[in-house]
Amino acid sequence: MPRVPPRGFTLLEMLLVLVIAAAGYALVVRFTSGGVSGAELKSAARAVAAGLRDARGTAIATQETAALTLDLEARRFEVSGGGRARALPPRLELKLYTAQAEIKDERRGSIRFYPDGSSTGGRVTLGSGERKLLVDVDWLTGRVTIKEGA
């Protein structure tokens, strides 16, 4: 009686197929995700912080108030006094917390600096998925800091 070879797959073959499928799925998700990379997020936070520091420096140097105006819908910001508008990544999540008097409408607001270096204070939150960076402005000193958000 001839011996019939076993039919089906071995456990090792099944595991190998599952590992290959999982790796392929991970690559597809990573390259098609609509988020912003970590480097882009840090770069955007540093650009906003630099704009805020520029506005503070302008206010101190000219002895007149200066402001950074953030457009949440268009994803850009501008420093008063002739500064050009700077664009932020389009898929970036943005939130602005500032004094009520500095809110222009539902999509635009400002953080204002005074000649003595103080400010209206506020926070710009930049995020992508679970990762968030907070750009804080101290109202008393006008100091600008970047922190990891929760």
The string of pLDDT tens digits covering residues 10-52 is: 888 888 999 999 988 887 766 655 567 889 999 999 999 999 9
Residue at 82 is within a domain: yes
Residue at 12 is within a domain: no
Say what the pLDDT of residue 31 is. 62
Say what the pLDDT of residue 70 is. 97
Domain that holds residue 100: 38-148
Residue at 64 is within a domain: yes
Residue 84 confidence class, pLDDT cut points 50, 70, 90: confident
Residue at 20 is within a domain: no
d(C-alpha 5, C-alpha 105), whole Å: 75
Residue at 17 is within a domain: no
Say how many Å lie between the first and final Cα of the chain, rounded: 70
The string of pLDDT tens digits covering residues 91-117 is: 999 999 999 999 999 999 999 999 999
What order do you get walking across the sheet with 103-105 strand by strand?
86-87, 76-79, 66-71, 108-113, 103-105
Please tell me the total count of domains within the chain. 1
Residue at 122 is within a domain: yes
Residue at 115 is within a domain: yes
CATH number of the domain residue 133 falls in: 3.55.40.10
Span of 2-6, 79-83, 99-103 with lowest mean pLDDT: 2-6
Please give the DSSP secondary-structure letter assigned to residue 19: H
76 backbone dihedrals φ, ψ, rounded to 5°: -150, 165
Query: Residue 37 to residues 32, 128, 132: CA-CA distances in angstroms?
Result: 12, 8, 12
